[in-house]
Each structure stands twice: as C-alpha cells, then as structure tokens.
Amino acid sequence: MTKEISITIELQNHGNWVKIFIPYSAPTKMMAILQNDYGEILKSVSLAEGNNSIDISNIKNSFINIKIETPYETILKKLKLSL
C-alpha cells in the first residue's frame, strides 16, 4: 500500500465527528471500534473505501481509543476529544 489511512477529529457546533479516509478497497469487511479507557465498546461501525464519518457527539469521554481493522493493517490510536 502506498497510501495511508488518515484519521481526523472535527469538533463543531453541529456535531462531533471522527473522519476516516481509507485509500483502498478490500475483499472483506473493514471495521472501526471506539472504546473508552476501560475497554468498553462505545461504537462499532463498518468502513468502506473513501471517506467515512463516525458521529461521536454523544460520547462524553475526554479520550477514546480507536481500532481500525482492514485485511491489510490494524491501527490502534488514542484520540483526545476535548480541546
């Protein structure tokens, strides 16, 4: 893979979002799992090639952990949600 998956956070008045861009397609399911620091799953969503948005407006934690699983790579990252 020559291109990387990008993860950004948008905190705005009309909602809070985790934006995930996946530059390739995959023959099997790709997933994003959001967890708190205690390991509880807050959200689990399927991902597709291109731009993906996950609504995190109802998550009140200061930090969340995100795990992105594709057939080609797994990404674990801690995201800061508060300013």
Taking only the tens place, the pLDDT of each residue in 44-56 is: 999 999 999 999 9
Domain boundaries, the chain: 6-80
Secondary-structure breakdown of the chain: helix, strand, coil percentages, each rounded to the nearest 5 = 0, 60, 40
Determine the topology of domain 6-80 in CATH.
Answer: Immunoglobulin-like (2.60.40)
Q: What is the dihedral of CA 41, 70, 20, 40, to 10 degrees?
A: 10
pLDDT per position as a tens digit, 53-77: 999 999 888 999 999 999 999 999 9
Tokens for 75, please give them.
């990404």
- How much is the pTM? 0.88
Tokens for 16, please give them.
């809070």
Pairing of the two strands 63-69 and 30-35 = antiparallel
Judged by DSSP in three states, 8 sits in strand
